[in-house]
Amino acid sequence: MWRSGRTLSDASSRDLANAGAAENMRRPKKTVDAEWIHACVEDFVSRSPENTLGFAHQEKVFDRPLVGFAAGTDSLWQLYRDHIGAFYLTPADIFLAAFPGSAVSPEDLAVVSWILPSTAVTRQEQAAQTRTPSGRWARTRHYGELFNNALRRHLVAELANAEVPSVAPLLSPAWHRSDEGNYAPCSNWSERHAAYAAGLGTFGLCDGLITTVGKAYRTGSVIVRVKIAPSERPYRDHHAYCLHFTHGTCGKCIARCPVKALSRQGHDKKRCREYTERSMNEYMKKTFGIDNYACGLCQCGVPCAGHVPGPEEG
């Protein structure tokens, strides 16, 4: 018997714990860089059981993601605020709201943005619709955004494990919608605008972001306190991938809109919202048992549905 009253197993456990602590101190910390983050996002999309359309059988909602990075100092954040309104938040605003009192500057921050592309089967099914979303499209809007939120939380948690603080803007209490300004309805952080800043795509006539995997996707972002070189923006104009703006052709999304919210003059966001968030909410509840909303007809059955279109496709 030990005079201290400890058992042999107690002593052994403490010795092992001390040895483990010493080993952890010797072990180098994870290097959080662009490659690490890209792998973290891609692995979760590839392996998570939450990447599902919610059928009785397993069917993935998203294909392999795109990932890009933007600097916290990018002049676009202030440009967005100047155009959208003073209520629009910069990466530093959102980070400081999540970590009040922290000594952080825009130079310390990077924005991680991703594109989660819908599958070819989902795009084809949606392209066949003329007035209401297809079953897979409705499920992508609902279960896909649940997965997108799971990815946001997963990346934030993995970064925290690596001792790197971060915040997902759309999961932050600081995020909210707005009916202010010339671009209303809008919000104080736009995932599509973050993706544009991260070099992932440019805007089309319907305001959707056209990427190298098309414009049928969900998108998300996380603001992270680590210095990462920004991705190249392979375009100079925010409409560079849209044939309507670059060649004066296409406009095929106009005919796809069931409520004439699209025209050569642009996108009537209020008419679109009335149909999408109200009429289609009732339709989805009745038809699919999903209390959510969707439309997305302008995102499929068009040249930019699955890639950046060439001039000959207009």
Rounded-to-integer distance, Cα 299 and Cα 289, Å: 23
Residue 166 has pLDDT above 70, yes or no: yes
Q: Look up residue 138 and give its two tokens.
A: 């409705």
Residue 219 to residue 235: CA distance in whole angstroms: 19
For the cut 50, the answer to whether the pLDDT of residue 284 exceeds it is: yes
- Mean pLDDT of the chain, nearest integer: 92
pLDDT of residue 185: 94
pLDDT at 29: 55
pLDDT at residue 21 is higher than 90: no
172: left (phi > 0), else alpha (psi -120 to 50), else beta?
beta
How far CA 214 is from CA of 76, 176, 203, 217, in Å, comes to 23, 27, 11, 8
136 pLDDT above the threshold of 90: yes
The torsion region of residue 35 among left (phi > 0), alpha (psi -120 to 50) and beta comes to: alpha
Residue 66 has pLDDT above 50, yes or no: yes
Q: Among 7-11, 30-34, 116-120, where is mean pLDDT lowest? A: 7-11
Question: Rounded mean pLDDT of 243-272?
Answer: 97
pLDDT category of residue 30 using cuts at 50, 70 and 90: confident
Given the structure tokens 């279109």, which residue do they identify?
309
Determine if residue 32 is left, alpha or beta; phi over 0 gives left, psi from -120 to 50 gives alpha, anything else beta: beta
Please report where in the chains the tokens 């070099």 appear, as a residue: 199
Q: Is pTM beyond 0.75 here?
A: yes
With cut-offs at 50, 70 and 90, classify the pLDDT of residue 305.
Answer: very high
Residues 177-227 have pLDDT tens digits of 999 888 999 999 999 999 999 999 999 999 999 999 999 999 999 999 999
pLDDT digits (tens, 9 = 90+) for 93-135: 999 999 999 999 999 999 999 999 999 999 999 999 999 999 9
pLDDT at 92: 98
8 Å CB contact between 284 and 138: yes
pLDDT at 248 (0 to 100): 97
Task: Kindly report the backbone phi and psi dihedral angles of residue 177, in degrees, each rounded to the nearest multiple of 5, phi listed first.
Answer: -80, 165
